[in-house]
Amino acid sequence: MELRSILATDCGSTTTKAILIQKIDGEYRLSYRGEAPTTVEAPFEDVTRGVLNAVMEVEELASRKILKGDEIMTPQNGEEGVDIYISTSSAGGGLQMMVAGVVKSMSGESAERAALGAGSIVMDVMASNDGRLPHEKIKRIRDLRPDMILLSGGIDGGTVSHVVELAEILHAANPKPRLGQNYKLPVIYAGNNKAQDQIRDTLGEMVDLDITENIRPVLERENLEPSRDKIHDLFMEHVMQQAPGYKKLMSWTDAPIMPTPGAVGSLIEMIAEKEKITVVGVDIGGATTDIFSVFQGKFNRTVSANLGMSYSICNVLAESGLDNVLRWVPFDIDRKELTNRIGNKMIRPTTVPQSLEELFIEQAIAREALRLSFKQHKEFATSLKGVQKERTISDAFDQSSSGESLVNMMELDLLVGSGGVLSHAPRREQSARMLIDSFMPEGITQLAVDSIFMMPQLGVLANIEKEELAADARAAALEVFHKDCLIHLGTCIAPIGNVKKDTLVLTAEFTFSDGKKVYHELKKDELFRFEAPYEPISAVLKPDKKMDIGSGKGEPIETTVHGGVVGLILDGRSRPISIPTASDDRLAALKNWSEAVNEYPNKNNNK
Amino acid sequence: MAHAYTPGLKVLHHAKVEKNRRLPIKGEITKQVGDLLKPEDVVAKTDLPGNVQMLKVANVLNIGPADVPDVMLVGEGDKVNKGQMIAETEGFFGFFKSNVKSPIDGTVESISDVTGQIVMREAPIPVEVDAYMSGTVKEIIPDEGVIVEAEAAFIQGIFGIGGESRGTMEILVDNREQELTTDLLNESHKGKIVVGGSFVNLETYKKALSLQIAGIVVGGFNYYDLEEILGYTLGVAITGSEDLVTSLIVTEGFGNIRMGSRTFDLLNKENGKFVSINGATQIRAGVIRPEIVIPLQESEIPDTSAHKSDDRGIGEGSLVRIIRAPYFGKMGEVVSLPPELQQMESETMVRVAEVKIDSGVLNIPRANLEMVETD
């Protein structure tokens, strides 16, 4: 069957967003979008109400009948209805899990990776060696009330007693699910296969136990897929069944409902694989920041649960420290005044920056929230820990060990941002600056934002398993991702190395398709931007002998880069970016960098 | 007429206030529907399961896990006392015996021959829930708790710390602009809820703690100073479980901000009453704001029906408060709600409300307005 039209919704905790994708002249394009408040809580307590409202908005905009009464018409009939309907959900707090493993940095971390990859929020990682006493663990499990628990530990055929001990702790805690009192808590066991019987004996009657393949069958290998699939199945079977209206919603959709971050992650994974690129994606929200990455073909996701721009804004301040926030604020402000302003944003989270000063402060905090989240991500996205490496004499001077971060900024091809502060910044230049200042890309990196956060819907579209639809659905997801979802900001070109102030770090020559040329000599600590459209542009980049632009110190590169709505940005600042500490110097540097990319309006002209 | 939904804080002379008083787990309800309640009356009680202790008997006795059931002197379900011998090895011809003594008073819950450990549970922990405010039992939630109802004046703050508290309310300032300062507090305020005007600083709050004042209601407080009181930096606004003698309710926000006139006037009107307050704040989905409940006597209840919440949001003529810089704290009246987006100084495109403040009219993003719900 050829897919002609697709309706997709994302039921978020506050808003339900619907998009309509249509095949027009042989191309899949986003045609309309609508949104409405999510209706999971009282007085409606039925998620489908919000879905119908959002779809009705699409109907009105598209002048196309999609609903028949309170149902979605599938498949498309003439110009009415749609071929398929799909949805993601993070309403009601998303999927909240607790994971357990024997060794925190080994099976514990693998379990965490599986749960995060499936799109859940990991509330706690319990491990035999996490330093907590059994009664402390029991109290913690009781207090948390997760939606689901993933228990792992031990390699296949290894010691049984440690993982059974964890099961005994779970049994003593007698955990209750967060939603609904009338079902047993789902627990997935993905540990030592030799312990399955004992786990069944210990937990079988108390919880809804599901046994799957070991997450770490041998020390050297992770096997996350079976656990991730199991989490998705149980999410549908148990957790979603408890949320108001989801039974009905599930009966409408043509593919299983996915947790929102799970869908985003799988889309990013697919794009990285299909285009053979490395990708970092970020979604910065009011309470949490999600980061996804694919390096060396390995996908990782982290959720920084308390780094966000409204509910958790004070936590960003607490974790980064006031000085780190202040260094990005381009005007003098009293420290108490600044903390009070940030505190007031926390207690009134829905307010927006009316004055330029407020915008400066908000974007300064965003830089720190992103920087800290990415730091956490780099620490988590590592090669497997505890693996013995065979070393030869040639490795004797190599300092590498197991557990090194997979994130290598020099290898990064594409950095995608989404979430209010990035997607809705008044100027795209501001989004580009926030991404560069916090992620500090090295070498040549394309920058983009997801303008309306369409990645969840495209992610579930890319995951349709029905054979007759799968190929078309994947093609549609990719096509819409490139043509409508991403706003290409441009490319950041940043040579890396240590040189003195005012040194020429890079000479760059760009040739546009119409033959126009741009030549620039980039100095240390300089930021330079010029307008360039999203098209292939030939570049010849010659770094200083101590600088590296991707091929090694002093090695020139001839390549093709793409511009975008912001253009091409040459970044001569060091990594990490050093900001002068003396107030006047700092303000001058911030002003220079801002003006280089036309980041903010001139306040005096604007008044 | 145009309307925009903007959550607001309540300042009500007369409302029917309902409180769910629930146990954390199922238990026994001690009151009947219609019973008159004082704040300290217990309405429900239960026993929480006792704490769990795990003991690695195999390790202590240096035996294999499979041998543990054989050396146990007590079985699953047996009660044990602290110091009681619960396991003993046979030793060598009756000599060199090793044993394990119970670390707690409690019950043996399980004995494992896989891990060699036993699980013991301490005695249950009794828990009681009180009525919190004067009122009547409106409804029983079977096995879980009651709904208490009161005719009361009701005021919400924006942020608070410390949990439930109660006492006689005393206004200590002459007007809403006046700061609550150390010289205004003395021994006579012990156990009372005191009201200040615009601000309370850290030093004054500390004095209130030392005088065992039950609560402070004031316009503003410095975010900066929370850390010293709480012992940590408050990262997300979820409070109420802090163990503080003096609960603090801030009605306007962080900084030195005079208390809203309606809030101050209403508190003044009810000066000297016995009030219940709760500093618990939760700013997430399912928002909880701190509150002051002032139960009214029969004779004080006005003839008009109690205020019902207006969910329509702000419209022309609504009284609003601006809740973000640069006009933070100002109050005014909505003149109109133009539908088209407008550009702010920050270049953000937003829907605005035209608000009459003093003699001028300002364009304010609707998201930066809070409706002041009054009756």
Kindly list the residues from chain A whose CB atom is less than 8 angstroms away from the CB atom of residue B219.
Answer: none
Q: Are A198 and B114 an interchain contact pair (Cβ–Cβ within 8 Å)?
A: yes
State the number of CA atoms in the 13 A half-sphere of B277 facing the CB. Answer: 37
Q: Are A314 and B112 an interchain contact pair (Cβ–Cβ within 8 Å)?
A: no
Kindly list the residues from chain B whose CB atom is less than 8 angstroms away from the CB atom of residue A353.
Answer: 324, 344, 346, 348
Q: Are B116 and A339 an interchain contact pair (Cβ–Cβ within 8 Å)?
A: no
B82: exposed, middle or buried (Cβ count in 10 Å: 0-12, 13-18, 19+)? exposed
Instruction: Confirm or reject contact between B345 and chain A (CB < 8 A).
Output: yes
Together in a domain, A152 and A119:
yes
Together in a domain, A65 and A115:
no
- Please give the C-alpha separations between residue A98 and each of A94, A141, A191, A307, in angstroms, as whole numbers: 13, 8, 15, 20
Q: For Cα atoms A573, A576, A581, give the angle at the middle one, nearest 5 degrees.
A: 80
Q: Measure in Å the smallest separation between the Cα of B249 and chain A Cα atoms.
A: 13
Q: For Cα atoms A244, A247, A248, give the angle at the middle one, nearest 5 degrees.
A: 95
Last residue of a domain, one of A68, A91, A114: A91
CB-closest option in A161, A343, A346 to B65:
A161
* Number of other residues whose CB lies within 10 A of the CB of residue A305: 18
CB-closest option in A160, A342, A359 to B346:
A359
Contacts of B176 (CB under 8 A, 6+ apart): B197, B198, B219, B258, B259, B260, B261, B264
Together in a domain, A193 and A213:
yes
What pLDDT score was predicted for residue B66?
92
Q: Are strands B274-278 and B291-295 parallel, antiparallel or unpaired?
A: antiparallel
CA–centroid distance for A488 within its chain: 18
Between A and B, how many CB-CB pairs are < 8 A? Answer: 168
**Separation of alpha carbons B267 and B290, rounded Å:** 15
Kindly state the tokens that stand for A32.
């309309």
Contacts of A482 (CB under 8 A, 6+ apart): none
Q: Measure in Å the smallest separation between the Cα of B167 and chain A Cα atoms.
A: 26
**Separation of alpha carbons B62 and B165, rounded Å:** 53
**Separation of alpha carbons A303 and A320, rounded Å:** 17
- DSSP H helix total and E strand total for chain B: 5, 29
Contact B76, B109 (CB under 8 A): yes
Nearest Cα residue to A599 out of A415, A371, A434: A434
Give chain B's radius of gyration (CA, Å): 28
Contact B48, B26 (CB under 8 A): no
**Separation of alpha carbons A436 and A521, rounded Å:** 20
Q: Are B51 and A139 an interchain contact pair (Cβ–Cβ within 8 Å)?
A: yes
**Separation of alpha carbons B225 and B77, rounded Å:** 51
Instruction: Confirm or reject contact between B281 and chain A (CB < 8 A).
Output: yes
Tens digit of pLDDT for each residue in B252-262?
999 999 998 88
Contact A292, A281 (CB under 8 A): yes
What pLDDT score was predicted for residue A42?
62
Instruction: Confirm or reject contact between B315 and chain A (CB < 8 A).
Output: no
Nearest Cα residue to B289 out of B215, B238, B255: B238
Tens digit of pLDDT for each residue in A4-57?
999 999 987 777 889 999 999 999 999 999 888 777 766 677 889 989 999 998
What pLDDT score was predicted for residue B312?
54
A337: exposed, middle or buried (Cβ count in 10 Å: 0-12, 13-18, 19+)? middle
- In this structure, whether the domain defined by B3-16+149-300 belongs to CATH 3.90.550 is answered with no
Q: Are B347 and A426 an interchain contact pair (Cβ–Cβ within 8 Å)?
A: yes
CB-closest option in A135, A340, A358 to B52:
A135
- DSSP H helix total and E strand total for chain A: 19, 22
Split at pLDDT 50, 70, 90, the class of B1 is very low
pLDDT average per 10 residues of sequence, chain A (607 residues): 91 85 93 84 79 92 92 91 92 81 91 88 89 84 86 92 91 78 84 95 91 92 88 78 82 90 89 93 88 92 85 91 95 92 89 94 97 92 72 53 83 94 94 98 96 88 89 92 93 96 95 96 96 96 96 96 97 95 95 96 58
What pLDDT score was predicted for residue B245?
95
3-class secondary structure per residue, A296-348: CCEEEEEEECCCCCCCCHHHHHHHHCHHHHHCCCCCCCCHHHHHHHHHHHHHC
What pLDDT score was predicted for residue A203?
92
CB-closest option in A164, A172, A311 to B114:
A164
Tens digit of pLDDT for each residue in B335-344?
999 888 899 9
Q: Are B364 and A13 an interchain contact pair (Cβ–Cβ within 8 Å)?
A: no
**Separation of alpha carbons B268 and B215, rounded Å:** 16
Task: Identify the residue among B53, B56, B104, B115 best suited for mutation to test binding to A, counting A beta carbons within 10 A and taking the highest.
Answer: B115
H or E element at residue A417:
strand A414-418
Together in a domain, A66 and A15:
yes
B289: closest chain A residue by CA: A347
Q: Measure in Å the smallest separation between the Cα of A507 and chain B Cα atoms.
A: 35
A316: closest chain B residue by CA: B235
Last residue of a domain, one of A229, A247, A265: A247
Q: Are A346 and B283 an interchain contact pair (Cβ–Cβ within 8 Å)?
A: yes
Task: Identify the residue among A163, A347, A428 best suited for mutation to test binding to B, counting B beta carbons within 10 A and taking the highest.
Answer: A347
Q: Which CATH number fits domain B314-374: 2.40.10.10, 3.40.50.2000, 2.30.30.30, 1.10.357.10?
A: 2.30.30.30
As a dihedral over the C-alpha atoms of residue A173, residue A179, residue A183, residue A187, rounded to 10 degrees, the angle is -50
Together in a domain, A165 and A208:
yes
Kindly list the residues from chain A whose CB atom is less than 8 angstroms away from the CB atom of residue B198.
Answer: none
Together in a domain, A511 and A436:
yes
Instruction: Confirm or reject contact between B175 and chain A (CB < 8 A).
Output: no
Q: Are A352 and B350 an interchain contact pair (Cβ–Cβ within 8 Å)?
A: yes
**Separation of alpha carbons B139 and B148, rounded Å:** 7
Contacts of A4 (CB under 8 A, 6+ apart): A22, A23, A76, A83
Contact A261, A303 (CB under 8 A): yes
Query: Amino acid identity of A314?
Result: C
Instruction: Confirm or reject contact between B1 and chain A (CB < 8 A).
Output: no
Q: Measure in Å the smallest separation between the Cα of A350 and chain B Cα atoms.
A: 6
Together in a domain, A45 and A84:
yes
Q: Measure in Å the smallest separation between the Cα of A19 and chain B Cα atoms.
A: 23
A466: exposed, middle or buried (Cβ count in 10 Å: 0-12, 13-18, 19+)? exposed
**Separation of alpha carbons A388 and A394, rounded Å:** 17
Q: What is the CATH number of the domain that holds A38?
A: 3.30.420.40
A78: exposed, middle or buried (Cβ count in 10 Å: 0-12, 13-18, 19+)? exposed
pLDDT at B288 over 70: yes
CA–centroid distance for B365 within its chain: 30
B160: closest chain A residue by CA: A347
Burial A266-297, CB ≥16 within 10 A → b, else e: bbbbbbbeeeeebbbbbbbbbbbbbbbbbbee
**Cα diameter, chain A:** 74
B359: exposed, middle or buried (Cβ count in 10 Å: 0-12, 13-18, 19+)? exposed
Kindly list the residues from chain A whose CB atom is less than 8 angstroms away from the CB atom of residue B114.
Answer: 160-161, 164, 198, 202
As a dihedral over the C-alpha atoms of residue A517, residue A523, residue A527, residue A529, rounded to 10 degrees, the angle is -10
Split at pLDDT 50, 70, 90, the class of B286 is low
Instruction: Confirm or reject contact between B222 and chain A (CB < 8 A).
Output: yes
**Separation of alpha carbons A54 and A31, rounded Å:** 14
Kindly list the residues from chain A whose CB atom is less than 8 angstroms away from the CB atom of residue B328.
Answer: 344
Q: DSSP per residue over B137-179, as a string?
A: EEEEETTTEEEEEEEEEEEE-SEEES-EEEEEEEE--SSTTS-
**Separation of alpha carbons B16 and B120, rounded Å:** 47
Q: Are B254 and A339 an interchain contact pair (Cβ–Cβ within 8 Å)?
A: yes
Q: Are A359 and B348 an interchain contact pair (Cβ–Cβ within 8 Å)?
A: yes
Together in a domain, A107 and A239:
yes
* Number of other residues whose CB lies within 10 A of the CB of residue A324: 18
Last residue of a domain, one of A197, A232, A247: A247
What pLDDT score was predicted for residue A204?
86
Contact A296, A429 (CB under 8 A): no
Together in a domain, A164 and A76:
no
Locate the domains of chain B by residue range. 3-16+149-300, 52-122, 314-374
Task: Identify the residue among B114, B234, B349 best suited for mutation to test binding to A, counting A beta carbons within 10 A and taking the highest.
Answer: B114
Q: Measure in Å the smallest separation between the Cα of A435 and chain B Cα atoms.
A: 19
What pLDDT score was predicted for residue A559?
97
**Separation of alpha carbons A257 and A237, rounded Å:** 11
H or E element at residue A259:
strand A258-259
Q: What is the CATH number of the domain that holds A111?
A: 3.40.50.280
What pLDDT score was predicted for residue B249?
97
Q: Residue A325 falls within a domain, yes or no?
A: no
What pLDDT score was predicted for residue B254?
94
What pLDDT score was predicted for residue A38?
79
Together in a domain, A492 and A597:
yes
What pLDDT score was predicted for residue B306?
63
Together in a domain, A289 and A432:
yes
Q: DSSP per residue over A179-223, as a string?
A: S-SSSPPEEEE-S-GGGHHHHHHHHTTTSEEEE---SSSBTTB--
Q: Which CATH number fits domain B52-122: 3.40.1620, 1.10.3470, 2.40.50, 1.10.490?
A: 2.40.50
Kindly state the tokens that stand for B361.
């009219």
Q: Are A346 and B346 an interchain contact pair (Cβ–Cβ within 8 Å)?
A: no
Together in a domain, A215 and A132:
yes
Contact B198, B258 (CB under 8 A): yes
Give the three-class secondary structure for B105.
Answer: coil
Q: Are A135 and B281 an interchain contact pair (Cβ–Cβ within 8 Å)?
A: no
Contact A373, A304 (CB under 8 A): yes
Nearest Cα residue to A603 out of B344, B354, B361: B344
The total of structural domains in chain A comes to: 3
As a dihedral over the C-alpha atoms of residue A477, residue A483, residue A487, residue A491, rounded to 10 degrees, the angle is 100
**Separation of alpha carbons B182 and B200, rounded Å:** 9
What pLDDT score was predicted for residue A96?
84
Q: Are A13 and B285 an interchain contact pair (Cβ–Cβ within 8 Å)?
A: yes
Q: Residue A494 falls within a domain, yes or no?
A: yes
Nearest Cα residue to B31 out of B125, B152, B130: B130
Q: Residue A195 falls within a domain, yes or no?
A: yes
Q: Are A347 and B115 an interchain contact pair (Cβ–Cβ within 8 Å)?
A: no
Give phi and psi for A313, each to the nearest 5.
-60, -35
Interval B305-334 mean pLDDT:
79
pLDDT at B313 over 60: yes
Q: How would you list the strands of the sheet with B125-130, edge to edge?
A: B28-29, B42-48, B125-130
Tens digit of pLDDT for each residue in A398-412?
545 567 889 999 999
Tens digit of pLDDT for each residue in B146-197?
999 999 999 999 999 999 999 999 999 999 999 999 999 999 999 999 999 9
Q: Residue A322 falls within a domain, yes or no?
A: no
By residue range, what is the domain housing residue A541? Answer: 282-308+411-601
